[in-house]
């Protein structure tokens, strides 16, 4: 399916979250009136973390699927991000007032990805141009990511009707993505949102 992935770790958000591309098979079809509401984000790494998100703006609220999305983002890293680049994702859902960790199911959920660089290569084969608007703005979509500032100006996207995991039902969700290399944490990003469909 083509999905807004929960793979949300810092600069990789520019490629995955905003582009909404992830190749996984699921059993249930998304409703024609799925909405993502109340999207918010924050850095959750140490104060001196080398990789940080500076801004991430999505509109409208709610985001309709299918529908149009306007997004902008900026992030920076003081070190080069090179393979292997570990990404550890923790997904929680609110159930009866408690936050419950969603297990890793078919590579979606609370999963540990040993090398995000390999995932990027699977989604966008090396040698192929980065998808728009990354290509236009010179934002890389493959490792290594050089130290520096990366910025995606306000851009318009169309989110097609998508397949959602059978367990991704109406409710409130929190996602935390930790980016690391050689056992060292490089940065952390957390997002929160609600899913509503009819």
- Is 185 part of a structural domain of the chain? yes
Q: How wide is the angle at C-alpha 119 spanned by C-alphas 113 and 125, nearest 5°?
A: 170
- pTM for this model (two decimals): 0.81
Max CA pair span of the chain: 48
Segment (H or E) for 154: strand 148-159
Q: Residue 110: is its pLDDT beyond 90?
A: yes
Task: Find the domain containing 130 and state its range.
Answer: 12-196
Structure-token pair, residue 184: 């060292």
Q: What is the pLDDT of residue 32?
A: 55
Task: Give CA–CA dist 90/111, Å, rounded.
Answer: 7
CATH number for the domain that contains residue 120:
2.70.220.10
Q: How confident is the model at residue 1 (pLDDT cuts 50, 70, 90)?
A: very low
Q: What is the pLDDT of residues 56-108, one digit of tens each?
A: 999 999 999 899 999 999 999 999 999 999 999 999 999 999 999 999 988 88
- Is 174 part of a structural domain of the chain? yes
The strand pair at 171-181 and 86-95 is best described as antiparallel
- Is 5 part of a structural domain of the chain? no
Task: Give CA–CA dist 135/131, Å, rounded.
Answer: 6
- Is 50 part of a structural domain of the chain? yes
Collapsing DSSP states into helix, strand and coil, what is residue 82?
A: coil
Q: How confident is the model at residue 34 (pLDDT cuts 50, 70, 90)?
A: confident
- Is 3 part of a structural domain of the chain? no
What's the half-sphere exposure (Cβ side, CA atoms, 13 Å) at 127? 0
Tally of structural domains, the chain: 1
């Amino acid at each position: 399916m083509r999905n807004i992935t929960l793979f949300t770790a810092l600069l990789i958000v520019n490629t995955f979250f905003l582009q909404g591309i992830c190749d996984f098979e699921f059993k249930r079809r998304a409703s024609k009136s799925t909405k993502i509401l109340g999207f918010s984000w924050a850095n959750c790494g140490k104060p001196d973390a080398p990789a940080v998100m500076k801004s991430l703006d999505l509109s409208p609220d709610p985001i309709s699927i299918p529908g149009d999305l306007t997004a902008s983002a900026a992030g920076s890293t003081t070190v080069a991000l090179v393979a292997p680049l570990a990404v550890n994702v923790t997904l929680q859902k609110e159930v009866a007032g408690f936050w419950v960790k969603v297990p890793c199911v078919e590579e979606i959920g609370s999963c540990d990805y040993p090398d995000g660089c390999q995932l990027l290569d699977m989604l966008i084969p090396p040698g192929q141009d980065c998808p728009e608007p990354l290509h236009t703005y010179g934002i890389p979509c493959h490792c290594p990511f050089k130290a520096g500032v990366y910025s995606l100006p306000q851009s318009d996207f169309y989110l097609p009707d998508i397949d959602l995991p059978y367990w991704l039902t109406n409710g409130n969700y929190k996602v935390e993505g930790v980016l690391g290399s050689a056992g060292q944490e490089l940065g952390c990003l957390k997002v929160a949102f609600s899913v509503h469909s009819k």
